[in-house]
Amino acid sequence: MVDFYMPRALEERTISLSFLASSWSSGALIALRTRIWARYEKDGRGRVWIAEHIRPDLDPAQGASQLEIADACLDAIENARDFVLLDTGEYGSRLGYQDAFAEASFLEMELFQAALLSKPITVFFVGRASETSPLGQLAMQLAPHVSTFRLESLEEAEDALVRHFDGAHPKAQRAKVSHLFSQNLIQERHRDWHNTRLFDEPKFMDGRVCGPTSAKAELDVAAHYLNLAAANTETNRILSRTWIAMRTLMPVHYAQTNDPTALDLWDRALRLWSSAAAWRGLHGHLWLGNVSVLGSLAQLRIRSGAPLYNPEQVKGGDIYDGLGSVYYSLSKRVPRRIGPKLLERALAYVEEGLKKRDPPLQDSLLPLRGSIQARRYQFRAAARDYTEAIDIAVARGDGSGQIGFLLTELGFMELFLLKPRQARQRIEEGLAHMTAEVSSPGFRVRALRKHALIALACGDMPAARASAVTAVKLSRKHQLYDQNNWMVRRLASGHLDNE
């Protein structure tokens, strides 16, 4: 069984509702949902989240869009205690664009969200076995921790739902949040600790076609949802829209097709997923996490002859950087006896990437090598890497956002060289460059975290608290859970508005 890494910020939230998902295919189903709502409506204001009753404003007849409805449901699942799916055989209404449709349905999106967030999932199959249900099969692909029950009728299903909500609900617990997944990933998937097999990684959804598919892939629909994903800054929205695009591309799977348009769309989708998954803190899910999606991206490029490093692609164009970064991140989430092994693998990708490019193009990998050096307590070597990266960026005329980011990284390292005042000045200079217009929320949160800790080291509690509060607010707004830090959360504690 696969364990999951979940962001601590989600772990700390107060979760009170169960989310009930089902189709609306018949009057009998609608009536069942209404009776469940009536039973629990006064029990903690909707102990069961039923969309049409908790959010009656989300009515297509009143102008609510498909994505507006889907987003409200996905947000509710994020805050739910557990996810309950009543499977009566329907796959649910598919999301559309113009006159074409995505492969993904509303029910699939809800199941995807529950699996992505590692919610306890219970599926009640009515009148059919799980192996004959497309949703059931997808559930097993996405989340091996699903609990399933087979029932003969809606009347029997209603009784089972009531027993579940009355009895099982108080005991429902999130799938275990721990470092065990990362340990499993290392021990089961990466036995070659001599690092002689780079790019031999797990694949997204195990490299298989995922979910039911049509005979034809609607490439325009996939492109539309990728455009929506790229235009968003909230990681949950990026992941949900990218998932819709990926599912729409499944009939032309990247491991099977030679269609250049489809391969370009897959490349873009995998890069978008990788970036969002990294900020989201989604490192630990074996088939949905960042290691797996980068493994698929590497496979796609090797198979198609595309470069593993493309300097023209601003986000995700460097797979050496991506895999080095994710293994560096994982090294901080595993037992101490394993962490150095992951740092070795991270460094192997970085050094291989540095060999493949001329010095003017090495600036993206140098900061990562610096971070790896810092984890090994080689602070002077780390500072040299950051300094060299800044010199390259300035000489090349890079934007202020990139230069500001590098300044904050160098400044933080100067703290460990026992230069706290110089470190603070450098980080503040970097932050001045990193305005909202030129820097992503993720990098700004990262820099604010560093400033909070530097200010604390300098004895300036008000400045430390101000930066911590801003960092936590940005992190919450954009779901940047990978950037949460216990010390920064403690600094901000009691000084955040109720949000």
pLDDT in tens, 73-94: 999 998 898 899 999 988 888 9
Structure tokens at 65: 């869009």
Please count the residues of the chain. Answer: 499
Looking at the domain assignment, is residue 412 inside a domain? yes
CA 481 – CA 281 distance, rounded (Å):
6
Looking at the domain assignment, is residue 248 inside a domain? no
Number of domains in the chain: 2
CA 362 – CA 393 distance, rounded (Å):
10
**Maximum Cα interatomic distance, the chain, rounded to a whole number of Å:** 72
Main-chain dihedrals φ then ψ at residue 233, nearest 5 degrees: -115, -10
Looking at the domain assignment, is residue 270 inside a domain? no
Looking at the domain assignment, is residue 323 inside a domain? no
| pLDDT tens profile 10-61 | 333 344 689 999 988 788 999 999 999 988 886 654 689 998 888 888 887 7
Output the average pLDDT for the chain: 84
**Which of 115, 140, 171 finishes a domain?**
171
Average pLDDT for 134-150:
82
Task: Confirm if 381 and 373 have CB atoms less than 8 A apart.
Answer: yes
Structure tokens at 317: 């164009």
Looking at the domain assignment, is residue 39 inside a domain? yes
CATH at residue 415? 1.25.40
Task: Confirm if 83 and 122 have CB atoms less than 8 A apart.
Answer: yes
Q: Is the pLDDT of residue 181 over 50?
A: no
Confidence at residue 433, expressed as pLDDT on a 0 to 100 scale:
94
Q: What is the CA radius of gyration of the chain?
A: 24
Classify the C-alpha dihedral 316-318-321-324 as positive or negative. Answer: positive
**Which of 171, 186, 212 finishes a domain?**
171
CATH at residue 128? 3.40.50.450
Q: How confident is the model at residue 406 (pLDDT cuts 50, 70, 90)?
A: very high
Exposure class string for 89-128: b at 16+ Cβ within 10 A, else e: ebbbbbbebeeebbbbbbbbbbbbbbbbbbbbbbbbbbee
Question: Which residues lie across from 97 on neighbouring strands?
Answer: 100
| Residue 84 burial (CB count, 10 A) | 28
Confidence at residue 7, expressed as pLDDT on a 0 to 100 scale:
36
**Per the confidence metrics, is the pTM higher than 0.85?**
no
Q: Is the pLDDT of residue 201 over 60?
A: yes
Q: How confident is the model at residue 169 (pLDDT cuts 50, 70, 90)?
A: very low
Q: Considering only residues 34 and 339, tell me which one the structure prediction assigns the higher pLDDT.
A: 34
Average pLDDT for 260-271:
96
Looking at the domain assignment, is residue 180 inside a domain? no
Confidence at residue 12, expressed as pLDDT on a 0 to 100 scale:
35
**Which of 156, 171, 186 finishes a domain?**
171
Range of the domain at 101: 8-171
Average pLDDT for 328-353:
86
